[in-house]
Amino acid sequence: MNKAETLEIKKQFNPDRCTIDHICGCYVDHEKNKRLVTKSAFGSIPEEEMFKYLDIFAHTLTGTFGKNLISLEFPLEQEAVGGTQEFLLTLRDSHLEDDALIDQFYDKIIANYVNGENYYIILVHAVYDIPGMASDGTTMDDASENIYDYILCSICPVKLSKAALGYNESKNVIEDRFRDWVVDGPTKGFLFPAFIERNADIHNMLYFTKKPEDIQPEFIQAMFGGRAPISAPEQKDIFNTIVADTVGDEGDYDIMRNIHENLQTMIDDHEGDPEPLELGRKDVEHLLADSGVSEDKMQYFKKNYDNIVGENEDYPLLASNIANTKKFDIETPDVVIKVKPDRADLVETKIIDGRQCLVIAVDDHIEVNGINVRTILNK
C-alpha cells in the first residue's frame, strides 16, 4: 500500500462515511487474562464513544511507510490450507459473527504479543463500496464497481490515569480526583487485506507499529507467517556498518558529506513516486562509488555486504530509513556542530598549522548564547 491508498481508507473513519458494521473488543490484563470480551453492531455505539473509536482506527493507519506502516506479503506456504492467510480470510468472511473464531484470534494475540501492561484489542469489520475514479482523479460515487471487504485490528495500552486534584462540581470543592483506567492510542495493529490499486489484495496486509524500533518480529511471524521485515533503526545500523566497513580508514568528512547529499538527491528525485524509494545491493554500491569511495575500497564492498546482510539475501533498504533528512550533525569528543541538512556544503575540512580543522563558512551574523558576536566585535 502507499500513502494515497491508506488515506482513502482513513477517510472512511468518520461518522458520515463510516462503513464499519461490527466491532469486537477484548480487555487483557498484564497477566494475560481476558478481563472483558465485547461484541456489538458499530452503529449501536453512543456517538461520543464512536468518535473515540474512529480516532483510534485512523491512528492505526497513520505514520511513515517503512517505519510505522509496514507492508507484509504472505509467504506462499501461508496461503495454503491451514495457513495464516486462510485464518484471516475466514475471520473476515465471518463478518465477526463467529464467537469461537474471534476467541481464537484473541488467543493468538495474547500468546505472542509482548506487553507487560494491560491492553485492549479492538477488531472491526467493514465493507467499503469503492467509488469509480474519473480521468482527472475525482471520485464518482455513482460509478462503483468493486467493494473492499476488510478487517482492522488495533491494540491499545490501557493505563491508570495520573493522580491529581480535581474540581467536584456537585460538591463545589477541590479534591483528590478519581483514578480510572484509560484506553490510549494504538501501539500495534493491522489492516487485512491490503488496499492496493484501489482494490482488495489478499496476498498482502498492512502492519502498524507506533515505535519503529519495536516491530516485534515474533509477533508478526506468529500472526501472519514468514519472517518479519527489518525495522527502520536496524536498516540504518546495517547501512552505517556497510559504509564504515567498506570505507575503512578512507572515511573522511568529504565522503560522508557526499553520501549524505547523494542520498538526499535520490530522495528528492523520487519525491512524487507513490512507493517509497528502496535501495538494493547494487544501489548501495553505486551510491558509495559515486560518493568518492576509491576502487580499492569498493573491492571489499560485496564481501562486507554479504557478511552483514547475508550472502544470499538482498533486503532493500528504504532511503528514508537510512538517510538523515532532518539533520546533519558533526561530532567530536568535545564539540557538536548541527547543520541544516541542505547546507552541509558550509562545512569543510582544512589543515591549519598542521592540524585537521573543520572550517565553517559564515556569510551572515554569528550568535553566541543569543548575542550577536559579529556586532560586538565590530564595535
Note down the domain range covering 338: 328-377
229, three cell numbers: 521485515
Question: In this structure, are 192 and 334 located in the same domain?
Answer: no
Question: What digits encode the pLDDT tens for the residues 350-377?
Answer: 888 888 888 887 777 787 777 777 644 4
In this structure, the answer to whether residues 130 and 51 fall within a common structural domain is: yes
- pLDDT, tens digit, for every residue of 148-202? 999 999 999 999 888 888 888 888 899 888 888 899 999 999 999 999 988 999 9
Nine cell digits for residue 76: 506462499
Residues 318 and 337 in one domain: no
Co-location of 169 and 279 in the same domain: no
Q: What is the reported pTM? A: 0.81
pLDDT computed for residue 195 by the predictor: 95
pLDDT in tens, 69-124: 999 989 888 888 989 999 999 999 999 999 999 999 999 999 999 988 999 999 99
| Same domain, residue pair 201 and 246 | no
Predicted pLDDT of residue 202: 94
- How far apart (Å, rounded) are the C-alpha atoms in residues 11 and 16? 10
Number of domains comprising the chain: 3
Same domain, 181 and 237: no
Distance between start and end Cα atoms, the chain = 61
> Among 287, 357, 361, 274, which Cα is nearest to 317's?
287
Instruction: State the pLDDT at residue 136.
Output: 61
Question: Are residues 299 and 157 part of one domain?
Answer: no
* 165 & 242 share domain: no
Grid coordinates representing 6?
491508506
- Residue 150 and residue 241 in one domain: no
| Same domain flag for 175 and 188 | yes
Residue 320: which of 5, 70, 72, 73 has the closest Cα?
70
Which of residues 209, 228, 247 is at a domain's end?
228
42 and 156 belong to one structural domain? yes
Whether 200 and 264 map to the same domain: the answer is no
The Cα-based distances of 40 to 37, 96, 122, 136, 244 in angstroms read: 11, 10, 12, 40, 56
Over residues 296-310, the mean pLDDT reads 83
